[in-house]
Structure 1
């Protein structure tokens, strides 16, 4: 039995913080659905299992409701299995009833009840849909007694958090990590955790096919799963599905050379134009080095899809050479001294110190530029 395991499409997700670039990220999530279909064809897969959170909310507008289905219609040779998650639980007259009323094609299967579903080739699917955002009981428990023929390949499909797995899941819906052994499952396909991760011999989170948050999954992924037969260990292969990468980096910079090295390493990232970068900087720089770093960051912001920089732990400490550069008439030097005092004063608010640092660097850049023109 071969299939693709995906989850957490969250179609309709909002990215307001990206301004005019929001639409590109929204469209990328729909593009990921098409890539899943293309990958299914490439790898000879008949079934794509989506372990919850197909949509980002319970009340998408009519266009958003139809968008993933229209992409799925492009692949009538693939069977698509959609499960309600905590973002889109199955409630009476809710999103899934709206979807069913559209008149879906026969290769789109909505799993709205915990019943055994034959997949062919001796395999059976056991879905565990969520009917509320938060369930306090393990919705996979029914699988323990779910009947299938002898020698059948048993596949569970669920959305939730493995018991004692941590707090990073989207909801508290508990799933017993021992469920495969209790229910005789050959594979348990999970959604909710936005990272590709194995949490048991045959228990996997697929991660999301298009990342949506810094500090989680860097690149979109789905899983190609091969099961030779009942009781055989699954062979799991990650498949790349995403358009955009989300990377988080923490860096210490102390001089111009460190800033240049950081610049070079970020530019070496694959496909920077489709990368969202969250950068945290710390260290102490001269004004000249800080000015050079700021110039590089502006260039990087233009090169990347999006660059977000946290400089709260980056300190500017003027050197004698810095102050000599500013001190061409004495007035600006006194201003620089006051700004330096604010930067170094722990009694000042973080915002005030940050503004003083930015003003000090700006002053240096303006004076250096003026001096350069005069020299010319």
Structure 2
């Protein structure tokens, strides 16, 4: 049999830091559902298995509640299987009761109890739904004792973490990575980690179909899983279904001569207009180099969907030539000398030091212009 494994849609997730572009990223999460539906049709997969966190919260607005359901309704030839996760656990009168009351499409199936259910010809699905955000016990343990028809392909689905299992101490939503062997599963579909990763021969996290954070998954993925028959290993292939790429890049700068190369490399990134970049800058630049850096980053940021620059690790060290460009003497030079002294004073805290450096850059641009 062949099916799609996905997870962590988190429909309704806020992106306040993006300002007026927030709605674009929220809409992209709905577009990802449509891309998954098209992938299922293309690959001949009759089922899509969503391993938790369909919604970002337990109390989505009425419109947010219906938006993913309506996208799934369009793909009537595909059966969509939903599992409650830690963002949307199944509680009385909670989000999943609201979905049921809304009249969910006939091709959308909610797996709200830990019990075997049919999952296509010759296959059984063993779900482990969350009923609260955190669990100390492994909710997949029941699968070991689950009875299914002889010769049936057994597929488990759960939402949680395999890290530190059995190591003692407090755990939240733990999952034993040995579960496929213990429960005779051909495949264990997991959600919660926002990265596509294989834990074992039959254990996979699908990752998120639309990334949502710097330092996480670069591009949204879904998995096409094919199981030839009972006891056969699963063949798993990853497919891009997301619209936006989230990148994190760290750069060390020490000279203005490096800035042209930096700009060339950043402009050479693929799909620039759909790229969200977190740029970490470290090192030291003179005032003229810092002004040039800001000018170049302004253009690069305009070419990208979003550019987030963290320059807390980048120090500004004005040269004598920088200060002379501001003024040979007089009020401006006096102000620049005082700011330089603060920026270089070891007794000054990092906040005051950064303020002095930023003021120096502003003073330099005001006196010299951005084309220095």
Report the TM-score, using the length of structure 1 for normalisation.
0.94
**Aligned position for 1:261:** 261
The SS at the match of 2:216 is coil
Say whether the 8 Å CA contact 1:312–1:350 is kept in structure 2. no
Name the structure 1 match of 2:142: 142
Q: What is the rounded CA distance, in whole Å, between the counterparts of 2:88 and 2:327 in structure 1?
A: 63
Q: Deviations over 1:219-242 (max 9, x none)?
A: 111111111111111111111011
Distance change in 2, residues 1:346/1:272 (3 Å): farther
1:12-53 Cα shifts (integer Å, max 9, x gaps): 111111111111111011111111001111111100000000
Tell me how far 1:114 sits from its aligned partner: 1.0
CA shift, 1:174, in A, is 0.7
Question: In 1, Cα distance between the equivalents of 2:319 and 2:309?
Answer: 24
Q: Is the 8 A contact 1:197 1:204 kept in 2?
A: yes
C-alpha separation between the residues in 2 aligned to 1:77 and 1:238? 22
Pairing 1:201-240 to 2, within 5 Å after superposition: 201-240=201-240
C-alpha displacement at 1:353, in angstroms?
1.5
- Structure 1: runs of 5 or more not aligned: none
Counterpart-to-counterpart distance in 2, 1:75 and 1:195: 26
Change (3 A) 1:370 1:154: closer
TM-score scaled to structure 2, two decimals?
A: 0.95
Which string of whole-angstrom CA distances, capped at 9 and with x for unpartnered residues, describes residues 188-214 of structure 1?
Answer: 000001111111111000000001111
Q: Which residue of 1 aligns with 2:351?
A: 351
More displaced, 113-122 or 35-44? Answer: 113-122
Q: Distance in 2 between matches of 1:201 and 1:90?
A: 30
User: Per the alignment, do residues 270 and 165 of structure 1 end up closer, same or farther by CA in structure 2, a change over 3 Å counting?
Assistant: farther
Q: CA deviation at 1:165?
A: 6.5
What is the distance in 2 between the residues matched to 1:243 and 1:174? 31
Q: Does 1:68 align with 2:94?
A: no
Cα distance, 1:6–1:371 mapped onto 2, change above 3 Å: closer
Superposed displacement of residue 347, structure 1: 2.2
Query: 2:96 matched to which residue of 1?
Result: 96
| 8 Å contact kept, 2:165–2:174 | no
For the structure 1 residues 330 and 67, does the alpha-carbon distance in structure 2 shift closer, same or farther, using more than 3 Å as the test? same
Asked whether the equivalents of residues 118 and 125 of structure 1 are also in contact (C-alpha less than 8 Å), the reply is: yes
Q: CA RMSD in A?
A: 1.7
Q: CA deviation digits over 1:257-312, x for unaligned, max 9? A: 22222211111111122111111111111111111101111222222211111111
Equivalents in 1 of 2:148, 2:238: separation in Å? 29
Structure 1 consecutive aligned stretches of length 4 or more whose deviation exceeds 6 Å: none
Alpha-carbon distance between aligned partners in 2 of 1:237 and 1:148, rounded to the nearest angstrom = 27
Whether the aligned pair in 2 keeps the contact of 1:53 and 1:85 (CA below 8 Å) is yes
Q: What is the match of residue 132 of structure 2?
A: 132
Cα displacement (A) at 1:329: 4.2
Whether 2:322 is the aligned partner of 1:322: answer yes
| Partners of 1:346 and 1:173 in 2: CA distance | 47
Tell me, which stretches of 5 or more residues in structure 2 are unaligned? none
1:156 aligns with 2:156: yes
Q: Is the 8 A contact 2:165 2:176 kept in 1?
A: no
CA distance in 1, matches of 2:349, 2:27: 41
CA apart distance, 1:163: 4.3
Aligned to 2:111: 111
Question: Structure 1 residue 371: deviation in Å?
Answer: 11
